[in-house]
Amino acid sequence: MGNLESIWQEAAEHLESSLPDAKKQWIRRISYSGDRDGTLVLSLSSPFYRSTTEKNCRIDIENMVSEIAGHDIPVEFIVDPSRKAPRTERKAERKAEQSEPVSRNTTLNRQYSFDNFIAGDNSSFAFNACKVIAQNPGTSFNPCLIYGGVGLGKTHLLESIGNYIDEHNPKMKIIYVTAESFTNEFIDSLMSKEKISAFKSKYRNVDVLLIDDIHFLQKKDSTQEELFHTFNELYDSHKQIVLTCDRPITELTDITDRLKTRFRKGLNVDLQPPAYETRMAIALQKCREKGYQIDQKVLDYICQSINTNVRDLEGALTTLSSFATLVGKPVTLEIAKEQLKNFIVSPAIRNNDITIDMIIQKTAAYFNVKDYDIRGKSRNKNITLARHISIYLASILTSYSLSEIGKFMNGKDHTTIMYSVEKIKSILDTDESVRQAVGTIKNDLLNG
Ligand code: ADP
Ligand code: MG
């Protein structure tokens, strides 16, 4: 068994980078307290923190530590008032973060700006509309909805609006929040009257409210109700609201009509996949930004092959650049093709009829395990690897979101699914047997 302290450190890192904000705050308060006969003992500084953390995060923590350890690890939470300070590394990290110039509105991610967004044929209308909104918040195009497929720059534009306003109107209160965090925060607030009123006042007293990925609100009736009132209050007082969604509002299901009507007011703009020239301009700009040296022929190959998702385009550039650094020589076209073999799946393929069931069946057959084992909780090494690979393949071959994939896997949560995807990505280049398994199963699926 690995050392429980290091397993906890790794789990905490993953949880902090993947859980919604409302949960992250609890993870940060946890200290490692010890290993009691294989039980991971975690401490919180007060009974309140212990019960809240347990209620909100126990399942996430148990899943993550067991996933990392490769077998079930029982977790116990205790109260230890002397352990006020969370892990020392985390403190140092936070100090480092504090010494960097931070945005006044800390919910914003400063890496996104209008300056580093390439407006092409597909996005210039949305880009210009967002700029106008940022220059005159609350006056024109209110509300505004940006919609389009995965990885096309919705979050980038939304955050750019926030950053621009933050820079030019420092007194304005801006909140950027994903619909998922909004939902979790709302649920958390239901614990007490004070929290509910704090939640309401937080969201109803902003000048600019930016909500990302509102498709997440489907079927979340009470959150929709709360957002409806927030929306009306902000709208009536001419505060700016900008939303993003992965599809046009008319295609949303399980969202009340009155909320849909609100979303459709104002301006709705779409982002389309970029044409080749725009993809090349984006690739060149990402290389400049990150200092990647990639041969023009290779860039051309990437931009030809990845044609509907800018995030994947970026991912390919990062993969090749890391490879070049590792082997200490430039990437040739042949190497690029080989390296990106498992990466470049023409998004057209995502529209194919590959289902998660098919992926699980093929993977189970390859590893000689049962379908239900892949969906289940067994920590057997072989089964765990098969499970990680099925999840990874579902993420690249189907258009399901991580949460949706989780539902197919007997209700695993988004964090566990993300862990599996990251795990396979991180070993794909170095582990020949994994690469071979992924390649074989994928080819099998693609060739019917
Ligand atoms: P979405 O929210 O639509 O899924 P993101 O905004 O997260 O997509 O974009 C994915 C990645 O692609 C981000 O790193 C973003 O900076 C980059 N990106 C997308 N479109 C552009 C663009 N037109 N110019 C520069 N970068 C872009
Ligand atoms: Mg996004």
* Ligand number with the minimum distance to the CA of 212: 2
* pLDDT score of 105: 63
Q: Please tell me the distance from the alpha carbon of residue 303 to that of residue 246, in angstroms, as a whole number.
A: 23
CB 377 within 8 Å of CB 383: no
3-state secondary structure of 144: strand
Residues 53-87: tens digit of each pLDDT: 888 889 899 989 998 888 889 999 998 877 654 54
Residues 6-15: tens digit of each pLDDT: 999 999 988 8
Residues 297-340: tens digit of each pLDDT: 999 999 988 877 898 889 889 888 888 888 888 889 988 888 88
Compare 196 and 88 and report the one with higher pLDDT.
196
Per mean pLDDT, which range of 3-7, 183-187, 341-345 is the poorest?
A: 341-345
* pLDDT score of 327: 83
Q: What are the φ/ψ torsions at residue 94 (nearest 5 degrees)? A: -65, -40
pLDDT at position 366 over 60: yes
* pLDDT score of 343: 57
Decide whether any atom of ligand 1 lies within 6 Å of the 315 Cβ.
no
Do you find a cis peptide bond into 170, omega within 30 degrees of 0? no
Decide whether any atom of ligand 1 lies within 6 Å of the 343 Cβ.
no
CB 310 within 8 Å of CB 282: yes
* pLDDT score of 230: 97
3-state secondary structure of 36: strand
Q: Please tell me the distance from the alpha carbon of residue 232 to that of residue 234, in angstroms, as a whole number.
A: 6
Residue 207 Cα to ligand 1 middle (Å): 25
> b/e string for 123-138 if b means 16 or more Cβ within 10 A?
beebbebbbbbbeebb
Residue 306 token pair: 């990845």
pLDDT at position 161 over 70: yes
pLDDT at position 1 over 70: no
Residue 282 Cα to ligand 1 middle (Å): 9
% residues pLDDT > 90 (the chain)? 53
- Protein residues placing their CB within 5 Å of the ion ligand 2: 154-155
pLDDT at position 91 over 70: no
Decide whether any atom of ligand 1 lies within 6 Å of the 245 Cβ.
no
Nearest residue by C-alpha to atom 20 in ligand 1: 153
Residue 412 Cα to ligand 2 middle (Å): 22
Compare 321 and 345 and report the one with higher pLDDT.
321
Residue of 114, 213, 310 with the most ligand 1 atoms within 8 Å of its CB, for mutation: 310
Residue 152 Cα to ligand 1 middle (Å): 5
Full set of structural domains in the chain with CATH? 3-79 (3.30.300.180), 124-271 (3.40.50.300), 276-344 (1.10.8.60), 348-447 (1.10.1750.10)
* pLDDT score of 338: 81
Nearest residue by C-alpha to atom 5 in ligand 1: 153
Q: Please tell me the distance from the alpha carbon of residue 72 to that of residue 63, in angstroms, as a whole number.
A: 8
pLDDT band at 92 (very low <50, low <70, confident <90, very high): very low
Nearest residue by C-alpha to atom 23 in ligand 1: 118
Nearest residue by C-alpha to atom 13 in ligand 1: 311
Decide whether any atom of ligand 1 lies within 6 Å of the 358 Cβ.
no
* pLDDT score of 352: 56
Q: What are the angstrom distances between the C-alpha of 301 and each of 121, 282, 296, 412?
A: 21, 14, 9, 37
Residue of 108, 125, 156 with the most ligand 1 atoms within 8 Å of its CB, for mutation: 156
Residue range 262-290: mean pLDDT, rounded: 93
Q: What pTM, to 2 d.p., does this model score?
A: 0.62
Three-point CA angle 374, 377, 379, nearest 5°: 90
* pLDDT score of 350: 53
Residues 21-54: tens digit of each pLDDT: 777 878 888 999 899 889 999 998 877 778 888 8
Q: What are the angstrom distances between the C-alpha of 7 and each of 28, 193, 413?
A: 16, 38, 20
* pLDDT score of 89: 40
The DSSP 8-state label assigned to residue 291 in this structure reads: T
Residues 402-439: tens digit of each pLDDT: 877 888 888 888 888 989 998 998 898 889 899 999 99
Q: Please tell me the distance from the alpha carbon of residue 233 to that of residue 239, in angstroms, as a whole number.
A: 9
